[in-house]
Structures are given as structure tokens and as C-alpha cells.
């Protein structure tokens, strides 16, 4: 029983994105009292905030959507192969309304602390405005990419013009007509927004620190015939997706790249390129593990870019040379490289001409003065750990969560951290997260967690925690699995390299969704081995 008058919930969810909303639905279905706290003024998580021009998902719309309800799947019609941010947000809002999820969401309620009370045992969560919530279980669906990175470039506050972050894009679209716009950052957000910013602004200057691999999305509208086919294929598509690595029904070329003839290789890469999308990064089964195969794909990419970009020097600046292709999240674009052929677009290679400071009038680099009216930061996120680390989480004996992850995130199966009983993480470090389709992965994880809670309730346990040795073993396994690939070679946000001072550990489980789900299933079948239920 609760020690005071506060109603004690079964599950308190933090974050009303794809994962958090499904958690509400699934918890209710399991007969649990659930409430969700959401910092934003609307649901949607990443899709609520990232409303910059050109924002789309790089996973196909028909895959990047809920699978838990066949009627929902049947009644929602995606209009394009890769859905835009407004369409994805409209879908999330539709789902929230259709399943009456909003009645369990407290909007504009940012969780700032979460303390575990060992006596009850419960989690007490405090919001920014001082409201308190109490629950048996705390489920953090706080997102992998939800804590924006705002680099402390000298003079950043001096700029007198308009400043925008892609990760916090205003609800009223800025008017860029006739303006000189500077864009810092060439990850997925910068690459997606560049063509649209160029079309709207008088002049666009892209400040690039590291060139990135990007593949044409080859987006298209679905036809009525596509809609029929999609429905026919859905059951098989979903079941293949759940068993796959990336959470979509993708099949790589049947041979390793190193075993192909040059003609075969070229044809397979050409097919990958003209199919469009991030899966070009997985053209061959050995592309992420074999340097030679990876080089073939990188060379193919380079030849394409040199053909697209007219100015050879600009083309050279746009071609990555510091990481194997795909070991940073490969981007997808609609006309990114072509945009550098426009007269009103300039590329500044910050490796050759670094930023000295931001001034009242624009950006001063070592070699030039760039006068700007608008400055846009597409500078990414404190990924995987940032959102959780920004909450003051205290576990048994007052253990600090920030301290627990000081040397890098430790978890058992990505779900739980020693000393933090009854706290669960969805899409966290140690899980496939962004290396898979986040929607299917979240459904899988949440279903699994609710079965664990059910098991605890049935056996009379009120406390679930991981054994420290199980967490250490899993964390080491996640790193070892990554070390068998080329992924750790890149200074990516996967290893925390984009945030100064962040410990370098590979945070994602590279073996993919199907393998991960299998491991979780086995753990459950073995009586939830590695967890202690008391
Ligand atoms: O962020 P990023 P993002 N000075 O970290 C640069 C997902 N996503 O928002 O590489 C100058 O990739 C930084 O340079 P460098 C997707 O998983 C998906 O674009 O650190 N530059 C880099 O160029 C993606 O991977 C979709 O040298 C600075 C950029 O900012 C993830 O979100 C769309 C700098 C940040 O790139 C993050 O993507 C959008 C500085 N001080 C996002 N600091 C789709 O589904 C940083 N940079 C398509």
C-alpha cells in the first residue's frame, strides 16, 4: 500500500513517442494502471520535435508503423514510400485518439527526478513543476535521439539573426525568402533539410565538419495498386521483419562481396543504389565486417558523387574518407548532392577552414567571413544516454544513475541497470534500438517486459532487478559483437564520439532485432535467468 494519499500506479511511463504510447496500450491490455508523462505539448516524441523542412523517416512507412493491431494496420493508408514528419505525426496522433491513449498522457510534464523507495517498493517521480507521481514500475521510453546537442561554439550567443535547431524546429515555419542561411551539420537532419533550405533561401552556406555517406531515398507516392499489394503482403512482411536484423523484410545479395566477380558486384551495388534507401549499406552480407567489401561499396559511392556534383573540388569535399561506409548511420536524401550544383549554395569544408567564432553578423572561419541572416544547427543529439542522464535517477541506497553510467552504459539486455530495481528502459543502450526499426523493436521489448511484470505478479514478487554479473556479461557481449564488425571504426554517435567527454563504448546491439528477440525469449524460457525477482 502507498504510504500517503498519492494514487499508486502500476506503471509510470516517461515519454509519449512511438514506444511510450504503445506501452500505455499494452499495459492497459494487461490490466495495469498506467500513466505517461510527456515533456512536449503533444505526443509523438522525436516526430513532434523534429519538424524541420524535409524531415522524413529513412525506414519505409509500411514498416515503420505499429503492427499490434491488424485493423489499425489495414485502415491506415501511407501515401508515400518514406513518410514525411507531418504524416508520421498525424499517424501517431490518430493512433493515440483511436485507442484513447491521450487520457493516460500528461503533456507538458517533464520528469526531472525519479527516486526509488525501497520500503514500498515504488518509484517516486517528480516533474519540473513539482508534481509527484508514484508507481510500482518505471518505464523509460525517453528516446534514443531526444536530447539535442547544442555545441558550445565560441560566440554562439552573439549572433544577432534568427537561430534554429532542427531538433526543436518552430511550429510556425520560418520565412527564409531573401535571406542568407547558414547550416551547421551534415548528418541525416542536415542532409535532409539542405535541398529545401536551398530552394527557400536567397543563399545557403553549408558548414561541413565531416562528410557523410548518403544514398538517394528514391521516394515515391503509393498508387491504389500498391495499397492493395501492401495489404496482401503485410502478414508475411511483418513476420519476416520480426526475424530480420533491421526490422524490415530485407534480404542481402546471396553472396559475400569478396566472393563476387567485379561485374556481379557492380550489378548488385547498382541495384542497391537504384532501389534507394539505407539498405544500400547492407548490399552484401559481409559489408559491415569485411573491409574489402566495404571499400567496393565506398568506391561505388564515390564514383556516383563525382558524377552528380559538377565542381570536382566540391565533390571531393563531400566524399567521406574517415570511416567505412555505413558505420555511421548512412543517410538518405532527395537531391542532397545535386543541391551543391545550385548557384545559391556553397559548401564550407571546416576541416580545411575551421570556424573561429560565431559573431553578431555570422560565422568567421579562418579563411573567410560568412555574413548570415539565419543560422540553423543540425548538430545531432546526446544519443542513447542523454535523455536518461538528464533526469536525476536514484536507485537503491541512493545510487546515482549518472554515476552508474559514468564509464558508459551498463545494462542487462538493454532493459535494466543494477541498483535500479523496477526501472525498465525501452530502445536503450544494449538493445538494437536505432539499428532496427524502432517501432517493431519497441513493441517487442514492451510485450516482453509486460510478461516479466506479469510473471512477477503471479509469483508474488514486487521487485525486479538484474544480477550485476548478468549485466556486466551482457554489456561485454554488446561490445564484443560490435568489435567483430567495422562499426567501432567510426567516430559516430553510436560510440558517443559526437559529445565531448562522453566515454567511448559501442552502445547498440549489432546482431539485430531477430537475434535479440531470440535471446530475450530464451532468457524468459529459462525462468528469466539473470534477473532477481523478490
Ligand atoms: O545528427 P548527427 P542528425 N561544429 O549527429 C555536426 C536519426 N535521424 O540529427 O560528424 C561543426 O548525425 C556533426 O559533425 P561531425 C539518424 O539515426 C534520422 O543529423 O561530428 N559541426 C554532424 O555533421 C541519425 O543518425 C533521420 O564532425 C558540428 C552533424 O553536426 C540521427 O538521427 C533524420 C558540430 C550532426 O549529425 C542523428 O542525425 C534525421 C560543431 N561543433 C535524424 N557539432 C531519418 O530517418 C556537431 N556537428 C532520415
| CA 492–ligand 1 middle distance (angstroms) | 9
Are the C-beta atoms of residues 502 and 382 closer than 8 Å to each other? yes
Supply the residue whose CA is at minimum distance from atom 5 of ligand 1: 380
Banded model confidence at residue 1, pLDDT cuts 50, 70, 90 = very low
Nearest CA to ligand 1 atom 46: 379
Which H, E and C letters describe 469-532, residue by residue?
HHHHHHHHHHHHHHHCCCHHHCCCHHHCCCCCCCCCCCCCCCCHHHHHHHHHHHHHHCCCCCEE
**CB-neighbour burial class of residue 281 (10 A; exposed 0-12, middle 13-18, buried 19+):** buried
How far apart (Å, rounded) are the C-alpha atoms in residues 83 and 89?
10
- Reported confidence tier of residue 3, pLDDT bands at 50, 70, 90: very low
CA of 371 to the centre of ligand 1 (A): 23
The preferred substitution site among 154, 186, 189, 328 for testing ligand 1, maximizing ligand atoms within 8 Å of CB, is: 189
187 C-alpha to center of ligand 1: Å?
A: 4
ipTM over 0.95: yes
CA separation, residue 150 to residues 153, 182, 184, 266, 399 (Å): 9, 15, 11, 41, 28
Ligand 1 — pocket residues by CB below 6 A? Answer: 56-58, 145, 151, 153, 184-190, 192, 209-210, 329, 332, 350, 378-381, 434, 493, 498
Q: Is the pLDDT of residue 6 over 80?
A: no
Identify the residue whose C-alpha is closest to ligand 1 atom 3.
380
Q: Mind listing the pLDDT tens digit for each residue in 499-533? A: 999 999 999 999 999 999 999 999 999 999 999 99
Query: Ligand 1 centroid to 120 CA: how many Å?
Result: 43
Site to probe by mutation for ligand 1, drawn from 146, 498, 501 as the one with most ligand atoms within 8 Å of Cβ, is 498
Nearest atom in ligand 1 to 350's CA: 11
* Shortest-distance Cα residue to atom 36 of ligand 1: 187
Residue 7 has pLDDT above 80, yes or no: no
Pocket mutation for ligand 1, best pick of 209, 281, 332, 381 (most atoms within 8 Å of C-beta): 209
**Substitution site in 61, 151, 187, 354 for ligand 1 pocket (most atoms within 8 Å of beta carbon):** 187
497 contact partners, CB below 8 Å, separation of at least 6: 490, 491, 504
**pLDDT tens, position by position, 414-434:** 999 999 999 999 999 999 999
Instruction: Tell how far the Cα of 189 is from the centroid of ligand 1, in angstroms.
Output: 6
pLDDT band at 5 (very low <50, low <70, confident <90, very high): low
DSSP assignments along 48-108, one per residue:
HH---TT-B-SS-TTTSS--S-HHHHHH----BSS-BHHHHHHHHHHHHHHTT-GGGEETT
DSSP annotation of 327 reads S
Choice from 63, 164, 327, 380 to test ligand 1 binding pocket (greatest atom count within 8 A of CB): 380
Q: What b/e readout covers 201-229, taking b as 16+ CB neighbours within 10 angstroms?
A: bebbbbbbebbbbbbbbebeebeeeeeee
> Shortest CA distance to 64 belongs to which of 89, 83, 90?
83
- For the segment 307-365, what is each residue's pLDDT rounded down to a tens digit? 999 999 999 999 999 999 999 999 999 999 999 999 999 999 999 999 999 999 999 99
Three state DSSP letters for 148-217: ECCCCCCCCCCCCCEEEEHHHCCCCCCCCCCCEEEEECCCHHHHHHHHHHHHHCCEEEEEECCCCCEEEC
* DSSP sequence for 13-42: EE--SHHHHHHHHHHHHTT--EEEE-SSSS
Q: Could you tell me the distance, in angstroms and rounded to a whole number, from the CA of residue 138 to the centre of ligand 1? A: 30
Q: How far is CA 53 from the centre of its chain?
A: 18
Distance 212 CA to ligand 1 centre (A): 9
Task: Tell me the pLDDT tens digit for each residue of 23-33.
Answer: 999 999 999 99
User: What gap in Å lies between CA 370 and CA 205, rounded to an integer?
Assistant: 8
296-323 pLDDT, tens digit each: 999 999 999 999 999 999 999 999 999 9
* 179, 373 Cβ separation under 8 angstroms: yes
Task: Check if the beta carbon of residue 174 is closer than 8 Å to that of residue 193.
Answer: no
Q: How far is CA 365 from the centre of its chain?
A: 31
| Residue-averaged pLDDT of the chain | 97
The label of the residue with cell 512477477 reads: 456
Residue 46 C-alpha cell reads as 522525436
Identify any residues that bridge with 252 across adjacent strands, giving them in sequence order: none
Within 8 A by CB and 6+ apart from 267, the residues are: none
How remote is the CA of residue 156 from the centroid of ligand 1, in Å?
18
Q: How many helices (H) and strands (E) does the chain have?
A: 15, 20
This prediction's pTM: 0.97
Amino acid at each position: 500500500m502507498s504510504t500517503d494519499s498519492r494514487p499508486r500506479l502500476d506503471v509510470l511511463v516517461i515519454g509519449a513517442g512511438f514506444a511510450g504510447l504503445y506501452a500505455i496500450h499494452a499495459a492497459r491490455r494487461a490490466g495495469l494502471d498506467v500513466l505517461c508523462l510527456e515533456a512536449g505539448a503533444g505526443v509523438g516524441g522525436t516526430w513532434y520535435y523534429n519538424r524541420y523542412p524535409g524531415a522524413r523517416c529513412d525506414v519505409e512507412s509500411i514498416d515503420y508503423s505499429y503492427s499490434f493491431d491488424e485493423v489499425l494496420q489495414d485502415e491506415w493508408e501511407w501515401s508515400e514510400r518514406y513518410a514525411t514528419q507531418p504524416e508520421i505525426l498525424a499517424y501517431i496522433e490518430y493512433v493515440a485518439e483511436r485507442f484513447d491513449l491521450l487520457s493516460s498522457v500528461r503533456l507538458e510534464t517533464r520528469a526531472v527526478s525519479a527516486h526509488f523507495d525501497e520500503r514500498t517498493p515504488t518509484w517516486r517521480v517528480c516533474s519540473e513543476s513539482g508534481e509527484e507521481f508514484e508507481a510500482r514500475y518505471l518505464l523509460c521510453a525517453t528516446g534514443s535521439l531526444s536530447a539535442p546537442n547544442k555545441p558550445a561554439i565560441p560566440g554562439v550567443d552573439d549572433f544577432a539573426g534568427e537561430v534554429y535547431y532542427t531538433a526543436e524546429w518552430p511550429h510556425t515555419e520560418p520565412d527564409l525568402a531573401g535571406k542568407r542561411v547558414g547550416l551547421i551539420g551534415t548528418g541525416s537532419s542536415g542532409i535532409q533539410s539542405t535541398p529545401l533550405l536551398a530552394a527557400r533561401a536567397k543563399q545557403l552556406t553549408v558548414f561541413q565538419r565531416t562528410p557523410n555517406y548518403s544514398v538517394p531515398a528514391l521516394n515515391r507516392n503509393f498508387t491504389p495498386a500498391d495499397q492493395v499489394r501492401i495489404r496482401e503482403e503485410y502478414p508475411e512482411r511483418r513476420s519476416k521483419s520480426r526475424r530480420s536484423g533491421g526490422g524490415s523484410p530485407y534480404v542481402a545479395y546471396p553472396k559475400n562481396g569478396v566472393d563476387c566477380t567485379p561485374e556481379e558486384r557492380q550489378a548488385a551495388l547498382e541495384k542497391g543504389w537504384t532501389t534507394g534507401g539505407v539498405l544500400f549499406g547492407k548490399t552484401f552480407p559481409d559489408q559491415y565486417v569485411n573491409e574489402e567489401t566495404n571499400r567496393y561499396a565506398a568506391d561505388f559511392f564515390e564514383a556516383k558523387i563525382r558524377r552528380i556534383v559538377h565542381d570536382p573540388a566540391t565533390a571531393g569535399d563531400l566524399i567521406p574518407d574517415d570511416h567505412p561506409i555505413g558505420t555511421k548511420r548512412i543517410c538518405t536524401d532527395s537531391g542532397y548532392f545535386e543541391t551543391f550544383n545550385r548557384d545559391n549554395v556553397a559548401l564550407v569544408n571546416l576541416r580545411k577552414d575551421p570556424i573561429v567564432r560565431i559573431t553578431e553578423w555570422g560565422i568567421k572561419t579562418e579563411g573567410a567571413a560568412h555574413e548570415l541572416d539565419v543560422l540553423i544547427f543540425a548538430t545531432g543529439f546526446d544519443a542513447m544516454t542523454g535523455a536518461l542522464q538528464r533526469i536525476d535517477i536514484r536507485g537503491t541506497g541512493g545510487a546515482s544513475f549518472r554515476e552508474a553510467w559514468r564509464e558508459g552504459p551498463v545494462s542487462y539486455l538493454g532493459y535494466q541497470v543494477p541498483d535500479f530495481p523496477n526501472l525498465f528502459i525501452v530502445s536503450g543502450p544494449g538493445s538494437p534500438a536505432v539499428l532496427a526499426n524502432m517501432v517493431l523493436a519497441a513493441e517487442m521489448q514492451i510485450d516482453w517486459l509486460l510478461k516479466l511484470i506479469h510473471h512477477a505478479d503471479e509469483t508474488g514478487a514486487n521487485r525486479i532487478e538484474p544480477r550485476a554479473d548478468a549485466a556486466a556479461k551482457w554489456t561485454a557481449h554488446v561490445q564484443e559483437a560490435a568489435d567483430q564488425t567495422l562499426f567501432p571504426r567510426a567516430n559516430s554517435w553510436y560510440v558517443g564520439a559526437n559529445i565531448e567527454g562522453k566515454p567511448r563504448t559501442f552502445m547498440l546491439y549489432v546482431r539485430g532485432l531477430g537475434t535479440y528477440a531470440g535471446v530475450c525469449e530464451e532468457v524468459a524460457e529459462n525462468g528469466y535467468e539473470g534477473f532477481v525477482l523478490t
